[in-house]
Amino acid sequence: MDFEEAASRLYAAPAADFIATRNELAKELKAAGDQLGSTRLKALRKPTVAAWLANLVARELPDDIDDLLALGDEFREATADLDGERLRELTPRRHKLIDQLTKSAASLSEREGQKVSADVGQKLRETLDAALVDPAAGEAVREGRLSSALRHVGFGVVDESGEPSNVTPLTDERRQRAEERRAKKTTKAETEKAQPEKAEPEVKETAAEKKQREKAEREREKAEREQEEREAAEKAAAKKEFEDAVAAAESTEAAVADLAGQLEAAREALADAQEAVHRIGDELDEARKAAREAQKESREARKRYNRL
């Protein structure tokens, strides 16, 4: 089991079991030698009810989520083309699909024993709409690991608290699989629309054209190498930054554990001291009582002596 599998299992767990499941999976990763994965997993946040519901829909109704994201692509294309008529056609489909998904989500939630309030239902609708409007939010919803509901506010996507949403980008492998799933749904339509192209007569390339083509290819290859080098440098820098953050988190975690131990020891010492105070107080009360009895007996003895 790697981090990706553990994270998927974590967000598929019942909401009430999130913390216990996270601790158990983190322990398994650590036992398997993946300390980094264990630390990353422990940093994952428990989803809100609306986020849990969105994750449930993503797992149970992946085809419907694909339809939602595909509709988002159509909206962006129509917007880019300034095609008002097309946008008017797409808008009812947008509302209908989100209505269907929200209704299905309520049934899924009821099956899981979780009641959906009006507020949670509204936040789910906002999350689904953000997934349609924003590609990054769409991929985050499809991934099924949200910790907070999302909302599109015109300039970007925010979480339930109104803060900019930190949607984690998919790995290249997962992104490729997502794109392949969506591509399968359009391949048939594209194939039917495709018309056989007429073969172009072969044109003999001149020496000048060949030289120009080879130069263009060299420039393209050079640009690709430079781009790869930049991406590699950025990836290395990001990896180092992440490793430094993990190291800092581990150090902080150790400090927290140490302070927690000191606090527990102090609490135990305080409890012992309080117990000693009560015990000494009781002994003092007994001693005072004994002193009063002794004084009383002394006075009685003096009276008897004086009568002799």
Does 248 map to a domain? yes
C-beta of residue 108 within 8 angstroms of C-beta of residue 57:
yes
Least confident of 40-54, 194-208, 236-250: 194-208
* 251 in the same domain as 163: no
Q: Is residue 179 part of a domain?
A: no
54 and 141 assigned to the same domain: yes
Task: For residues 147 and 235, state if they share a domain.
Answer: no
Q: What is the pLDDT of residue 254?
A: 67
For the chain, give the number of residues: 308
Torsion from C-alpha of 119, 123, 128, 130, nearest 10 degrees: 150
Domain boundary among 173, 200, 222: 173
What's the total number of domains in the chain?
A: 2
Domain that holds residue 286: 231-308
User: What is the pLDDT at residue 196?
Assistant: 53
Predicted local distance difference test score (pLDDT) of residue 226: 83
- If asked whether residues 55 and 158 sit together in one domain, one would say yes
Average pLDDT over residues 83-93: 89
At 163, the pLDDT band (50, 70, 90 cuts) reads low
Residue 267 lies in a domain: yes
My answer on whether 54 and 169 are in the same domain is yes
SS (H, E, C) the chain: CCHHHHHHHHHHCCHHHHHHHHHHHHHHHHHCCCHHHHHHHHCCCCCCHHHHHHHHHHHHCHHHHHHHHHHHHHHHHHHHCCCHHHHHHHHHHHHHHHHHHHHHHHHHHHHCCCCCCHHHHHHHHHHHHHHHHCHHHHHHHHHCCCCCCEEECCCCEEECCCCECCCCCCCHHHHHHHHHHHHHHHHHHHHHHCCCCCCCCCCCCCHHHHHHHHHHHHHHHHHHHHHHHHHHHHHHHHHHHHHHHHHHHHHHHHHHHHHHHHHHHHHHHHHHHHHHHHHHHHHHHHHHHHHHHHHHHHHHHHHHHHHC
Domain annotation covers residue 82: yes
The answer to whether residue 273 is domain-embedded is: yes
The yes-or-no verdict on residue 97 having pLDDT over 90 is yes
Residue 93 has pLDDT above 70, yes or no: yes
Angle between helices 135-143 and 62-80 (to 10 degrees): 180
d(CA 181, CA 175) in angstroms, rounded, equals 10
Token look-up 């554990």 returns 257
Average pLDDT over every residue of 277-302: 84
Tell me, yes or no, whether 139 lies in a domain.
yes
Pick the last residue of a domain from 155, 173, 191: 173
How confident is residue 165, by pLDDT bands cut at 50, 70 and 90?
Answer: low
164 and 238 housed in the same domain: no
Please tell me whether residues 235 and 157 are part of one structural domain: no
Least confident of 87-91, 165-169, 237-241, 300-304: 165-169
Residue 174 pLDDT: 46
pTM here?
A: 0.53
* Side chain identity at residue 44, one-letter code: L
List pLDDT tens digits, range 42-76. 888 889 999 999 999 999 999 999 999 999 999 88
Is residue 11 in a domain?
A: no
Q: In this structure, are 159 and 238 located in the same domain? A: no
Domain membership flag for residue 81: yes
Q: Would you say residue 160 has pLDDT above 70? A: no
Last residue of a domain, one of 173, 188, 218: 173
Same domain for 159 and 244?
Answer: no
**Both 55 and 164 in a single domain?**
yes
Pick from 205, 254, 296: which is nearest to 35 by CA?
254
pLDDT (average), residues 125-129: 93
Virtual CA dihedral for 153, 181, 44, 57, nearest 10 degrees?
70
Two structure tokens written together for 187 = 């391949």
Tell me how far apart the alpha carbons of residues 248 and 215 are, in angstroms, rounded to a whole number: 49
